[in-house]
Amino acid sequence: MARILITSAIPYINGIKHLGNLVGSQLPADLYARYMRGRGHEVMFICATDEHGTPAELAAAKAGKPVEVYCAEMHEIQKEIAAGFRLSFDHFGRSSSARNHRLTQHFAGQLAENGFIEEVSERQVFSVADNRFLPDRYIEGTCPNCGYDKARGDQCENCTKQLDPTDLINPRSAISGSTDLEVRETKHLYLRQRALKDEIEAWIDSKTDWPVLTTSIAKKWLHDGEGLQDRGITRDLHWGVPVKKGDQPWPGMEGKVFYVWFDAPIEYIAGTAEWADANGKTEADWERWWRTDKGAGDVRYVQFMGKDNVPFHTLSFPATIMGSREPWKLVDYIKSFNYLNYDGGQFSTSQGRGVFMDQALSILPADYWRWWLLSHAPENSDSEFTWENFQASVNKDLADVLGNLVSRVTKFCRSKFGETVPAGGAFGEREHQLIAELQERLAAYESCMEAMEIRKAATELRALWVAGNEYLQSAAPWTVVKTDPERAQAMIRLSLNLIRLYAVISRPFIPDAAASTMASLGCDDWSWPTDVAAALERLPAGHAFTTPDVLFRKITDEERAEWQTRFAGVRT
Ligand SMILES: Nc1ncnc2c1ncn2[C@@H]1O[C@H](COP(=O)(O)OP(=O)(O)OP(=O)(O)O)[C@@H](O)[C@H]1O
Ligand SMILES: [Zn+2]
């Protein structure tokens, strides 16, 4: 039994996530976690909400709530929606937790002690009325280039010109509108990534099995332009982890917080500690996942994320871990994703474009979405969600292939032999051929799952379903029963067992359908069908079942057209 630590990029707190976010991080991580548990491995699967930073403060202000209250509420909302999609986190933590505060301060202290922190003085715009320094994008004014009067301090979104806050004409605070702005001196901490560059590069070069998408992004940041740069890890904000050196004050850094990208990945560790706290476990129980001096030596750590998160996970977070000079676990494999687009454009949280997780669940159960998203995951290139493709894939794969098989077999059995596994006959040539084919296809499915080749795994799973359908079609027990009922009984006995086998192997993709199928079969044995022949005798003659309801229904053309219209606009 192996030990596998899995983390998904942690979703930002400022709203409900869209289907692109889901398929680019949490959902494939869940698929992998479920598969590994199904194979009997010990899994720790951690996710959390990413709560700090100015966008959270502004979202809270817009909602008219204190930021702590807003984050706590939004965390609960995200947690509930994640449960709706059956994301099987061992813990869904919060980057604002006390655990993460302490760990983030601890890492900063270690980095300082080891000479990897530099204190830098900068000049930055201060709003007297707001009593705070303003990040570039929270300074507004008139664009010197086009005259647009809502240009931001980093860029004019009207003419796209890159700006400095001091370029703006009549600058004002985007928070209060005040024009009482001053340029003040402020001090910040920088993580000396350049000093760790060789170490990071050697480590990345040792990862020869990583997806090209992951290593190409890492290498680009290591080599392009002036190469890897030091990175500011503090901000002049109120909402965040206060800057401290371990548990000691940091002279000159009073009132400042760590930058959200410094504390967010540390939450993977803190989230595991939160898991321990929430479940009455000890320090040793979570440290055995993270400290190679405390039992994590045999852990395999896999991260899942969209491509924009790759630089932080291949460079900055490893720099934090390496620079601590403590034996924390580094990631072993980073599975990264391209983008899922929506119906001819991009998904966008800020513009409210696309289908959001809560909306998706309001029209169809989780399994329908899970199947489509995973079987179309943007692995080697961007992919696109269209309602036509969604309808076609659900109707064909789930309703016509899998659902239909389950329904035909159970209904036929009920009408001819009653709701128990029939006893007659023996398997013949046709059944042995099927078993051999399934054994081979199962091996292909397993190797795709192990390699996290998600689309290919979905293709293999579908092929396993199709093999069963083709068997049933050619064996035709409904004809055979008229002349040789014993033979028909053997076919149906095998088919009922095949349904159980499908429930087990399909569970990582469609957990609800798998569970309801298993319940109908009156069985609770989820053991992996390593030996297909043996697995197909698991439900013995005489075993009672109940005929299940429709497993997957078809999406009608009218529904598709209605959803297409309903979700074409902008979410407000
Ligand atoms: N369209 C997309 N397709 C696939 N993955 C995506 C997409 N957009 C974001 N992601 C990934 O989703 C995860 C969670 O993202 P996060 O909550 O930080 O939102 P984000 O990256 O700001 O995206 P957005 O602004 O669209 O919400 C990240 O790993 C990110 O890379
Ligand atoms: Zn402009």
Q: Which residues are annotated as a binding site?
A: 143, 146, 156, 159, 349
- Starting at the edge strand found earlier in the chain, the sheet holding 345-346 runs 345-346, 340-342, 383-385
Examine the domain organization and report whether 14 and 73 are in the same domain: yes
The pair of three-digit structure tokens given for residue 129, joined into one six-digit string? 């009325």
Cross-strand pairs, 519:
none
CA dist list (Å): 381 to 377, 449, 473, 530: 9, 19, 37, 33
- Residue 300 sits in a domain whose CATH number is 3.40.50.620
Examine the domain organization and report whether 443 and 488 are in the same domain: yes
Decide: 172 and 140 in contact? Cβ < 8 Å.
Answer: yes
Reported confidence tier of residue 120, pLDDT bands at 50, 70, 90 = very high
Q: Give the distance (Å) from ligand 1 centre to CA of residue 456.
A: 23
Examine the domain organization and report whether 63 and 206 are in the same domain: yes
pLDDT tens digits along 377-408 = 999 999 999 999 999 999 999 999 999 999 99
The pair of three-digit structure tokens given for residue 532, joined into one six-digit string? 């297909």
Q: Is residue 365 part of a domain?
A: no
Examine the domain organization and report whether 108 and 128 are in the same domain: no
Domain count, the chain: 3
Quote the domain boundaries for residue 300: 3-114+195-230+258-337
pLDDT attached to residue 58: 86
Q: What atom of ligand 1 comes closest to residue 304's alpha carbon?
A: 29
ipTM of the complex, rounded to two decimals: 0.94
Q: Is the pLDDT of residue 165 over 90?
A: no
Which residues make Cβ contacts (< 8 Å) with residue 301, sequence separation at least 6? 4, 5, 6, 7, 329, 330, 331, 332, 333
Q: What atom of ligand 1 comes closest to residue 8's alpha carbon?
A: 29
Examine the domain organization and report whether 199 and 102 are in the same domain: yes
Q: Is the pLDDT of residue 419 over 90?
A: yes
Q: Is residue 98 part of a domain?
A: yes
In angstroms and rounded to an integer, the radius of gyration of the C-alpha atoms of the chain is 27
Report the 10 Å Cβ neighbour count for 326. Answer: 14
Report the 10 Å Cβ neighbour count for 61. Answer: 13
Examine the domain organization and report whether 415 and 284 are in the same domain: no
Reported confidence tier of residue 166, pLDDT bands at 50, 70, 90 = confident
Specify the DSSP class assigned to residue 174.
Answer: T
Question: What's the mean pLDDT in 39-51?
Answer: 98
Pocket of ligand 1 (CB under 6 A): 9, 11-12, 17, 20-21, 23-25, 305-306, 308-309, 337, 339-340, 347-349, 378
Q: Give the distance (Å) from ligand 1 centre to CA of residue 22.
A: 8
Examine the domain organization and report whether 304 and 433 are in the same domain: no
Q: Give the distance (Å) from ligand 1 centre to CA of residue 161.
A: 25
Q: Is residue 373 part of a domain?
A: no
pLDDT attached to residue 572: 66
Q: Which residues are annotated as a binding site for ATP?
A: 349
Phi and psi, residue 373, nearest 5°: -60, -45
- Residue 440 sits in a domain whose CATH number is 1.10.730.10
- What DSSP assignment string belongs to 499-567? HHHHHHHHTTT-HHHHHHHHHHTT-------SSHHHHTTSS-TT-B------SSPPPPHHHHHHHHHHT
- Residue 137 sits in a domain whose CATH number is 2.170.220.10
Reported confidence tier of residue 135, pLDDT bands at 50, 70, 90 = confident
> Rounded CA gap, 362 and 132, in Å?
41
Q: What atom of ligand 1 comes closest to residue 15's alpha carbon?
A: 27
> Rounded CA gap, 19 and 239, in Å?
28
Decide: 306 and 9 in contact? Cβ < 8 Å.
Answer: yes
pLDDT attached to residue 31: 98
Task: Say how many CA atoms lie within 13 Å of 569 toward its Cβ.
Answer: 6
Cross-strand pairs, 184:
124
Q: Is residue 480 part of a domain?
A: yes
Q: Give the distance (Å) from ligand 1 centre to CA of residue 571.
A: 17
Q: Is residue 496 part of a domain?
A: yes
